[in-house]
Amino acid sequence: MRTPVHCDVAVIGASLGGVLAAWRASQAGHRVVLVCEEPWIGGQMSAQAVPPDEHSWIESGGASASYLRFRRDIRAHYQAQAGFRNQARMTEGCNPGDGWVSRLCFEPVLAARWFEHLLQPAQAQGRLSLLRLCRPVAVRRSGPRVDSVTIQRWPQGDSQTLQAQVFIDATDTGELLWLAELPYRIGKEAQSEFGEPDAPAQADPLDQQPITQVMALRRWAQPGPVGPAPEGYARWRAQGVPGHRHALFSPHLPGRPAGHSHSLPFSAEEDSPALDWWRYRRIVSAAQWEQGLGPAQDVTLLNWAQNDCATTPLIDGPQGRDHVHAQAQELTRCLLHWLQTEAPRPDGGKGYPHWQPAPELLGTADGMAQRPYVRESRRMRACTTLTQVDLMRAPTDTGEGVAIAWYPLDIHPTCRSGHSVNAAVEPFVIPLGCLVPTDVDNLLPGSKNLGVSHLANACTRVHPAEWAIGEAAGTMAGVLVDHGCGAQALMQPGAPRDTLFTRLDQQGAARHWPEDLLRRRTQHTSAD
């Protein structure tokens, strides 16, 4: 083991929230260490290759200033390219990939580069150190304080101890909560706990949302090579969707009400307004460039209902994390083979052999994302727990918010019950108490592991929300270092709390919803 590293703030996990947390803590002048398990930093926006899931007002605001700047910069990158026509059909605004899941579908590597550029000044000034290809393996705790976190270079390598005044758990699975043996929530709470309308009668920690191994696919003009059926193909081909009556490998996707499904064609004509699977998460649209001046082929991201891996829970289940990851990868390989050989086409034929992996898009040899997309984390026992009941109320400005968010309550068919939910919610505020733990003084949540219920997590897991959570956590960490206090001090009136809210406001963190957007929501609801 090498010599321990000492810093003010240690951010474990370079997820989307982790990057923003490290940036904000370093901006406050503190020495920060950011631990990254993947080659690319940025989590779901980059290494996991998930186009941003955003609310329908995002073109008008309703997010932190830094998130809106990121969106402008990504668009400016494309708008500066010769031949880019900016003629997206599927959504409003400049949507480079013209996918219909988001108003901003783009190549994930651009997000990774943007985050590297964001952190570069602090790195150049010696205030931030980035440790890549490392994962946490141990936590040392003395009562309510975390003393150190041990990380190890993977798959095999040296270990190193990090000692800090404040730690931020920005892993996608809340690893530090488990390693520190702190109490946490995971899976589904019973309806009796919070009174949530869509919660089950019985709690089940292992009834978790599926993970998805994303793959980039390029659509060539001519068929490409198709190999033999991958290992596990017959099993996955026969797999049904939990809680539904259709096969996993089919044109169907779970819909409303629960247990029902809808069907989409896998491909459609470019000028067709109908929705199809190919354009769902498309990140490169050749039609967006003048011929000969841009990419010649479309690229889409295979993150569909058909490769949601729900056979076993990722967290605290009977199989280890690496096994579940391997299952998700196997599923995606098998889905690709089915798409190439058996998927129904509008012309009555079968298979799309001209759909081929695009490894150069995601920085891997096989075209898969560097890490599976994780929808659900261990969740901290916090001073405040945000629930579905809270999300059904119109937002009120209590002055205690650290972020805002809005996204439908989207639960994919879960591992044990197969239950899915797609419910409307109101724009909401994330209270400070959701980021303040009850059982530890100097460990903050920086990703999906804040104080929320299983159902509310479906709304806080998306990109703008995780971004804002990370920013808030990094700002909170800086305040704790400056004032020499524990996290619970932020829940009481006083200088630390005042400093936090002042800094968040100065940074452009959206702590309450703009009145003009709320009026629009009221008018829309009245019209319905």
Amino acid at 400: E
> Residue 138: in which H helix or E strand, if any?
strand 134-142
Does the structure show a pLDDT above 60 at 526?
A: no
Q: What is the pLDDT of residue 1?
A: 63
pLDDT band at 242 (very low <50, low <70, confident <90, very high): confident
186-200, 283-297, 381-395, 514-528: least confidently modelled range: 514-528
Does the structure show a pLDDT above 50 at 337?
A: yes
Mean pLDDT value across residues 169-187 = 98
Mean pLDDT value across residues 307-323 = 95
**Rounded distance between C-alpha atoms, residue 249 and residue 236, angstroms:** 8
Helices (H), 143-280: 175-179, 191-194, 233-237
Amino acid at 296: A
pLDDT band at 6 (very low <50, low <70, confident <90, very high): very high
Burial of residue 524 (CB within 10 Å: 0-12, 13-18, 19+) is: exposed
Does the structure show a pLDDT above 60 at 42?
A: yes
Mean pLDDT value across residues 447-460 = 99
Q: What is the pLDDT of residue 394?
A: 84
Kindly list the distances between the CA atom of residue 305 and the CA atoms of 66, 211, 246, 367, in Å, as whole numbers in the listed order.
31, 11, 12, 19
Query: Percentage of the chain with pLDDT > 70?
Result: 98
Kindly list the distances between the CA atom of residue 478 and the CA atoms of 84, 92, 162, 404, 508, in Å, as whole numbers in the listed order.
42, 38, 17, 21, 16
pLDDT band at 255 (very low <50, low <70, confident <90, very high): confident
